[in-house]
Amino acid sequence: MNVQAPFFQTGATVAYGGPEARSPLSFRWYDKDRIVRGKRMEDHLRFAVCYWHSFCWPGSDPFGGETFLRPWQHGDDIMALARAKADVAFELFRLLDVPFFTFHDVDAAPEGATLKESVANLNAIADLFEQKMASAKVRLLWGTANLFSHRRYMAGAATNPDPEIFTYAAGQVRAALEVTHRLGGQNYVLWGGREGYETLLNTDMKRELDQLGRFVSLVVEHKHKIGFKGPLLIEPKPKEPTKHQYDFDVATCYGFLRRYDLLDDVKLNIEQNHAILAGHSFQHEIALAQALGVLGSVDINRGDDLLGWDTDQFAMNVGELALVFHEILKGDGFSTGGLNFDAKIRRQSIDPDDLLHAHVGSMDACARALIAADEMLEAGALTAPLTARYAGWDGEEGQAILAGRRSLAELADRAVNSGLDPQPRSGRQEYLESVVNRYV
């Protein structure tokens, strides 16, 4: 089938217009060639459009059906529909001038009656992607397999009590990983959508964690076998769709990766909305992942502060994002990762161009936040007070303690015999909050 052209009302690539630009389809802050800390802004942010929310979500919710009525959503020739969807996707990639995209296997290509048929469908659409990428700027940030939507995965994939479902999932992941490799993907994501439990009454947690550890190890082994160089990425999320998920947050995932000796090959893909569901801030999860050496990539979206579920809205909060980019820049930025728009337009945003406006607005918010983060770092606005606060640990005695050259008895004797009377110092929280506001 052919989607009636044009699907989007504009045919012009969105361009940088400067802070005074008035066109809603121009960037005010995202100047891809602007140099920030020695790199182009585009190379810092590494934006990616996600295939599933942008082209596959129909606008439905638990109380109502689809609202978007996309022309590729219904029809008898499912492969023709998938090709039409790809045409529109690559048109959006061109209009936004983004460097990357991401996809799930079953969102790019329809499932067949058998796994063999599904793999054939995926490879056929990968052929189409390959053709389109040959004459396009966009590249693949990462691919992944959907191991949560089909009813076979209602009790998990790798953690399923049925080893045949584990085996089926392995077949699905192998196909998605190999297609990702063929298309030059820079990472591969393993999101444990239903790797968790609803009740412990029917769950053997140790067994399921061991199964999950073995599954990820198998993917690592196959990654090396086929020569895929990028990291695997696990995406922390504490709940939803299951009551409790094994990839609860950064700390939990780090413990899992250490337990199953996976730290050399697996990093994390952090998402704001998932951080909030886990009871953390977005900044906290990024900072902890940096501290533990496991930050791989970021799904850039936001949740609604008044709602307790994953709303996947486009990120627009410059203040929040500035603190996140401050952490990322302190760690020298992304290597293979980037900012994936794992975000949905609202179900009332039914015009095709709403997809453009959402991405443009969020790209500009990220760019403005990156500039603020760079300015804070350049001025030492947050780093200088932080260095001063911990200065004692950089002195001779502090370094001796950390290096293991002081015993507990030696420290205790010094505290008693030297008459130590240390006094507390202000944490200056309100001052630091006001400093951030000067930049955003």
Which residues are known binding-site members? Answer: 235, 271, 274, 299, 310, 312, 342
Identify the bridge partners of residue 144 per DSSP, sorted by sequence position: 104, 189
Catalytic option among 104, 181, 284, 326: 104
- For residue 159, what are the contacts with CB-CB under 8 A and spacing of at least 6? 192, 194, 195, 196, 208, 209, 211, 212, 246
The yes-or-no answer on residue 357 being catalytic is no
The number of residues in the chain equals: 440
Residue 211 backbone phi and psi in degrees, to 5: -60, -45
Are 66 and 402 within 8 A, CB to CB? no
Residue 193: alpha-carbon gap to chain centroid: 14
Are 285 and 249 within 8 A, CB to CB? yes
Are 277 and 303 within 8 A, CB to CB? yes
Residue 438 burial (CB < 10 Å; 0-12/13-18/19+)? exposed
Catalytic option among 31, 97, 107, 374: 107
For residue 329, give the 3-state DSSP assignment: helix
Backbone angle region of 41, left / alpha / beta, with phi > 0 → left and psi within -120 to 50 → alpha: alpha
The annotated binding site for Mg(2+) is made up of 235, 271, 274, 299, 310, 312, 342
- For residue 141, what are the contacts with CB-CB under 8 A and spacing of at least 6? 46, 48, 100, 101, 102, 185, 186, 187, 297, 337, 338, 340
Identify the bridge partners of residue 188 per DSSP, sorted by sequence position: 143, 232
Are 108 and 82 within 8 A, CB to CB? yes
Residue 39 backbone phi and psi in degrees, to 5: -130, 150
Structure tokens at 256: 């899992």
H helix and E strand count, the chain:
17, 14
DSSP character for 331?
T
Residue 71 burial (CB < 10 Å; 0-12/13-18/19+)? middle
DSSP element (H, E) containing 424: none
Buried b (16+ CB within 10 A) or exposed e, 167-204: ebbbebbbbbbbbbbbbebbbbbbbbbbbbbeeeeebe
The yes-or-no answer on residue 353 being catalytic is no
Name which of 347, 382, 321 is nearest 44 in CA terms.
321
For residue 432, give the 3-state DSSP assignment: helix
Q: What residues are annotated to the active site? A: 104, 107
